[in-house]
Amino acid sequence: MRISFIGSGKVATHLAHAFAQQHQIVQILSRHLEHAEKLASQVGAQAINEYNRINPNTDLLVLAVSDQAISQVVQSIHTLLEHVLIVHTSGSTDLKVLSDFYPNAGVFYPLQTFSFESEINWTETPLFIEAIQEKSGRILNDLANSLSKRVYSYSSAQRLSLHLAAVFACNFSNYCYDMAKQIVDQQHVDFSLLYPLMLETAKKATQYNPMQVQTGPAARQDYNILKMHQNLLQKADRSDLKEIYQILSQAIIHRHHLES
């Protein structure tokens, strides 16, 4: 398959490298030509920075751009292409954002966190596909199965719920790690001492119902410890962390009170 990308960021980089193992990467388009050139040189593609230079013989055009840019991009390119399958990679953007302008549209969404520093285990990464046309759906299904053993045909509404859940499971939890590091750094305590606890917590969350394995002073309703922690944050002049601590603790207390 001949595949091109609009975008040269983290998602585009990881997908282009993965696809290049079995397919031809034709073009990488980026507003900044030097960014396109960097990724294109890695996957044997042509670097471009203008929409009118998109090769119409491409089989699949992947829009790996920010959510807010998807609509603008498809409006800029839909008259330039006739038979190319165009997909976006967003978890939260409805397929209609593409299909309102272009009939041969789809979604290819990897449920994963991307960074330039870490490799992706594509075999275990869930891939979610959606397409307007049945033939396009089959093409995306075959492409997804060539990367992962976990491929799902989900609607835009289902994908949005996953994306919201992923923000809680990934982005918010990572910020909790950041807050934890801020707290121990203030007392010159080694953050790595928390690694076994963090790994065990994540492990249990994947093996059991997270609600059932919740621990800590809020779950126990140990108000003396809760007050002690909040006083400590207040003395450290971290009212921001104290507020988050209170909100999360109250939510845990409420959740377990309802289930008890």
Q: What is the DSSP string of 177-212?
A: HHHHHHHHHHTT--GGGGHHHHHHHHHHHHHS-GGG
pLDDT at residue 257, rounded to an integer:
81
Predicted confidence at residue 259, as pLDDT, reads 66
Task: Give the pLDDT mean for 28-50.
Answer: 97
Domain segments of the chain: what residues?
Answer: 2-154, 160-259
Q: Give the tens place of pLDDT for each residue, 215-241.
A: 999 999 999 999 999 999 999 999 999
Q: What is the pLDDT of residue 82?
A: 83
Contact 39, 142 (CB under 8 A): no
Mean pLDDT calculated for residue range 232-257: 95
Give the per-residue pLDDT at 191. 98
Asked whether residue 258 carries a pLDDT value surpassing 80, the answer given is no
SS3 5: strand
CATH superfamily placement of domain 160-259: ProC-like, C-terminal domain (1.10.1040.20)
Mean pLDDT score across all residues of the chain: 95
Q: How many CB atoms lie within 10 A of CB 170?
A: 13
- State phi, psi for 84 to the nearest 5 degrees: -70, 135
What DSSP character marks residue 37? H
pLDDT (average), residues 166-183: 97
Phi, psi angle pair for 62, to nearest 5°: -100, 120
**What is the pTM for the complete model shown?**
0.88
The rounded percent of the chain whose pLDDT value lies above 70 is 99
pLDDT at 260 over 70: no
Tens-place pLDDT, residues 82-117 = 889 999 999 999 999 999 999 999 999 999 999 988
Same fold, 2-154 and 160-259: no
Indicate whether 41 pLDDT > 80: yes
Q: How far apart are CA 184 and CA 14, in angstroms?
A: 34
- Top CATH class of 2-154 equals alpha beta
